Structure 1
Amino acid sequence: MTNEKTFLGTEPVGKLLFTLAVPAVVAQLVNMLYNIVDRIYIGHIPGSGSLALTGVGVCMPVIMIVTAFASLVSSGGAPSASISMGKGDYESAERILGGCFSVQIVISAVLTAVLLCFNRSFLSAFGASRNTIGFATDYMNIYAAGTVFVQLTLGMNAFITAQGKAKTGMMTVLIGALINTVLDPVFIFKFGMGVKGAALATVISQAVSCAWVIFFLCGKKSVLRLCLKNLSIKTSLVFPCLALGSATFIMQASESVLSVCFNSSLLKYGGDIAVGAMTILTSVMQFALLPLQGIGQGAQPVSSYNYGAGNAPRVRKTFSLLLASCVLFSFVLWIVLMARPQSFAFIFTSDAELVDFTAKALRLYGAALVLMGVQVACQMTFVSIGNTKCSIIVAVVRKFVLLIPLIFIVPLFTADRTSGVYLAEPVADLIAVTFTAILFAVQFKKALRPLEKKTDAS
């Protein structure tokens, strides 16, 4: 058991990063794939497939906000628990786990009530029309009832990964994906439930995944145990977790705001085809960048544990390997994207005009993709070492300070204003990555200095 508790501080860093990152990457890709499969089934509903797909598509910004609340708790709680484990304070780590569990129950109850009461208003605000609002509300009413399962599955699974048990965390996603993929056609087509069937399949799959997560955390194989005595919400432990997780929350929740800004500007300058291309661009970029997030998630337990243990050389080495991995991946992805953008567009549409338009837009939109490895590595490490202030700053600067204003400013200085909207993304990324790299260079050195002094003193 001792080795199971301390292996994050003793195993070779390169081996740990590979062992933990691969399952995390697989989990991210599977999660995205089964969401895509969900939409494919809905799109093939006889007679109303296109309207149903549009209706469910309008639900996505709302669903992104729901999952962002799960990240608010998990992305701060899991690193905090890992840091406590590194210090050998397993009692505090388990109190963080229990407190975060209770917070997610409270958040789930509030979200469920809000969504059931106001989902029609939210969906109308996000673009549901008279023709699609019925499909959208049918889906959201059932999805809202299962909010607690979504919250606990996503939130508590992070605490499994934080222990270095990435394969178990991956199984959580695989179980849900398999059940959802099997139940979708049964409920949608065999039982004739349409979008209601798709929502019910999602809720059931998340409920089973939730049961799997809780069963594991309460069992003997978990280093951190979820137990009744730790379910009280101790503000001194939980509030710092929420503060640390707010950076990830901002990043995820802001996607809904960005979607509205991009679409309004593109509709003004380029019409429906420009908005359609943007839908494809965001899907491609989200899917393409998932492995980067998975690599970062794999590195988090190693960085957090060793930071808590006061082992500065291992924290530094973990970051070096994380940075190299992220930069290499983003460079290869950028090369492929620039060389064959039309291949990515063909995945989502066979319309020749839209494919051609999207291919050109993708080269503009993804021009600075090669730099994203630096952004992700620095931002994930800020979170991993518990640097709340910097993690929030880099999230807010990139999305709100830079990208949202640039969506409206850059087109004013380009001959083709539609292209200018797409160019806002790489311009924002270039400035943001430069800012993040400089801030990280200063703050990372500052964060490790106390650890190095303790090492020298001993």
Structure 2
Amino acid sequence: MNGKSEFLGTQNINSLLWKLSAPAIIGLLVHAFYNLVDTFFVGRALGEQSVLGIAGISIAFPLQMIIMAVSIGIGVGGSSVISRMLGAKDVDKAEKTLGNVFLYTLAASILLPILFFSNVDAILNLFGATADNLPYARDYSVVILQGTFAFTFGFVLNNLVRAEGNAKVAMNNMVFSGLLNIVLDAILIFGFDMGIRGAAIATVLAQLAGTAYLVHYYIAGKSPLKLRMRNIVPEYVALREITFIGFGSFVMGASSSLMMLVLNNVLAFYGGDLSIAVFGIASRMLMLILMPIIGVSHGLQPIVGYNYGAQNFTRVNESIKLSLKITTVIGFLGFAVLFMFPGTFFRIFSTDTDLITNGETALRIMVLATPVIGMNVISTTVFQAIGKARPSFILSMCRQILFLIPLVILLPRYLDLSGVWMAFPLSDIMAGLLSAFLITKEYRHFQSKAGHLS
């Protein structure tokens, strides 16, 4: 290991969390930004058909989310085990986990396209496609499925690199692939007049370039762990642990896909393509708040995992407390900006006055509880980092599966379209309260263990 990860147990928590979170935040913001650019270019390129194009991307996104959910589940499960093993100085198990993660990811990248390719139209119809936006959604989805290998390895390896404490490598990869995506968007959509298909091709090529960068990182021996051929063989215990720990993150991503499936169908019923397009833009604006919060959680994960493995519970609690303060501030700032200037953001993507007017109302309602989102994200990350699969699973699914989806179905019956938008802040509040209850119990447990060891 050459001591490359030992700073996780010694460096000042304030500077350490910033050191690990800042690169993740930058990388994730670039990722969110190029999703916005995709939508911007498609909206501007299609002119009068901008509503249908944006709606098409929104319909296709749940399919992309399923691929991302599987990848993030493998990556989070693997990174949790690796960071704890590094903290416990068990390099051999960490390297066996690394090998099994590679094998797991390869299998997923082969099986997912096979599963979805023959049923693309049926899946998109299930996700709420209408006769008008289906051609756009299909063009985008087919290309994304062809690039599954790039998505799976890219997301998994980013998680593993962060688990080692090499957040700058993960950031460089995300910034590089994000900027490349933006450049390719402009070239393919406008230069080659490829429309929505060009946006999808740009995304896949950028992800492929980022994946190549991370594969080289491991092959070139820059990681504290060695990728050995003898470890790239299936080992039941390793695969089981990766799956159980990462299952919460998989459910979080898959529940996002399920949420979009339900939401798109509800929106199609109550508001049609216009409302689907409104949600497509609003959800991307919300990502500008969520990505920095997730970035903090990415910085937190290796700190908690390493120090939990090293039984340094005081440092674990310090990092939890600080991360909750930071994410709450981020939530407040995001709320203030999006609540005050919603129309400004919608005008960037389209000149359609109905889209802008409806978008202003929707976004103002949806951001009402963003200050409490960090409580759920941080709590989920803590339980994943310490290897407690059950509470991480409950917290990862509570916001969207237990709370948001039922509210999206129920509230519009009484409040029409406004009920859909109201479901978001209500589910955020409910998930925040449950998360606060569970993480407070764990925090006190760590305090008790730290007292016994001192």
TM-score normalised by length of structure 2: 0.91
Within 5 Å, which residues of 2 pair with 1:171-250?
Answer: 171-250=172-251
Partner amino acid, structure 2, of 1:42: V
Report which stretch shifted further, 392-401 or 291-300: 392-401
Within 5 Å, which residues of 2 pair with 1:306-325?
Answer: 306-325=307-326
Change (3 A) 1:14 1:397: same
Report which stretch shifted further, 259-268 or 231-240: 259-268
Within 5 Å, which residues of 2 pair with 1:85-164?
Answer: 85-164=86-165
Partner amino acid, structure 1, of 2:322: L
Change (3 A) 1:426 1:398: same
Partner amino acid, structure 2, of 1:35: N
Q: How many Å separate the matches in 2 of 1:3 and 1:65? A: 37
Alpha-carbon displacement from aligned partner over 1:237-287 (angstroms, at most 9, x marks no partner): 221221121111112222222223334444545565544433333222122
Q: How many Å separate the matches in 2 of 1:78 and 1:101? A: 12
2:7 aligns with 7
Report which stretch shifted further, 112-121 or 66-75: 112-121
1:362 aligns with 363
CA contact (8 A) 1:244 1:387 kept: yes
Report which stretch shifted further, 16-25 or 193-202: 193-202
CA contact (8 A) 2:404 2:423 kept: yes
| 1:401 Cα deviation after fit | 2.0
SS of the aligned residue for 1:4 comes to coil
Partner amino acid, structure 1, of 2:302: P
Partner amino acid, structure 1, of 2:38: D
CA contact (8 A) 1:73 1:104 kept: yes
Partner amino acid, structure 2, of 1:418: L
| 1:422 equivalenced with 2:437 (yes/no) | no
Partner amino acid, structure 2, of 1:31: H
Partner amino acid, structure 2, of 1:204: L
2:262 aligns with 261
Within 5 Å, which residues of 2 pair with 1:32-111?
Answer: 32-45=32-45, 50=50, 51-111=52-112
Within 5 Å, which residues of 2 pair with 1:300-379?
Answer: 300-379=301-380
Report which stretch shifted further, 238-247 or 102-111: 238-247
Change (3 A) 1:115 1:169: same
SS of the aligned residue for 1:220 comes to coil
Change (3 A) 1:48 1:338: closer
Q: How many Å separate the matches in 1 of 2:338 and 2:196? A: 33
Q: How many Å separate the matches in 1 of 2:245 and 2:325? A: 25
1:437 aligns with 436
CA contact (8 A) 2:244 2:389 kept: yes
CA contact (8 A) 1:160 1:217 kept: no
Q: How many Å separate the matches in 1 of 2:149 and 2:189? A: 23
Partner amino acid, structure 1, of 2:24: A
Q: How many Å separate the matches in 1 of 2:55 and 2:164? A: 40
Q: How many Å separate the matches in 2 of 1:339 and 1:196? A: 34
Q: How many Å separate the matches in 2 of 1:28 and 1:410? A: 32
Change (3 A) 1:272 1:174: closer
CA contact (8 A) 1:164 1:301 kept: yes
Alpha-carbon displacement from aligned partner over 1:340-399 (angstroms, at most 9, x marks no partner): 333343343444444333323333222222211222222221212221110111122222
Alpha-carbon displacement from aligned partner over 1:204-256 (angstroms, at most 9, x marks no partner): 22222111101101223211222212111212122122112111111222222
Q: How many Å separate the matches in 2 of 1:29 and 1:185? A: 19
Change (3 A) 1:201 1:285: closer
Change (3 A) 1:448 1:385: farther
Change (3 A) 1:451 1:89: farther
Partner amino acid, structure 2, of 1:442: K
Change (3 A) 1:144 1:7: same
Q: How many Å separate the matches in 2 of 1:145 and 1:341? A: 35
Q: How many Å separate the matches in 2 of 1:203 and 1:138? A: 13
Partner amino acid, structure 2, of 1:359: E
Q: How many Å separate the matches in 2 of 1:48 and 1:356? A: 17
Structure 1: state its 5+ residue gaps.
none
2:23 aligns with 23
Q: How many Å separate the matches in 1 of 2:349 and 2:44? A: 14
| 1:73 Cα deviation after fit | 0.2
Aligned residues with identical type, % of pairs = 31
CA contact (8 A) 1:328 1:373 kept: no
Within 5 Å, which residues of 2 pair with 1:261-300?
Answer: 261-269=262-270, 273-300=274-301
Structure 2: state its 5+ residue gaps.
none
CA contact (8 A) 2:324 2:374 kept: yes
Change (3 A) 1:257 1:5: closer
| 1:128 Cα deviation after fit | 3.7
SS of the aligned residue for 2:178 comes to helix
SS of the aligned residue for 2:368 comes to coil
CA contact (8 A) 1:302 1:315 kept: yes
Aligned CA RMSD, in angstroms, stands at 2.5
Change (3 A) 1:77 1:340: same
Partner amino acid, structure 2, of 1:298: G
CA contact (8 A) 2:317 2:446 kept: no
Q: Count matched residues.
A: 453
Report which stretch shifted further, 340-349 or 226-235: 340-349
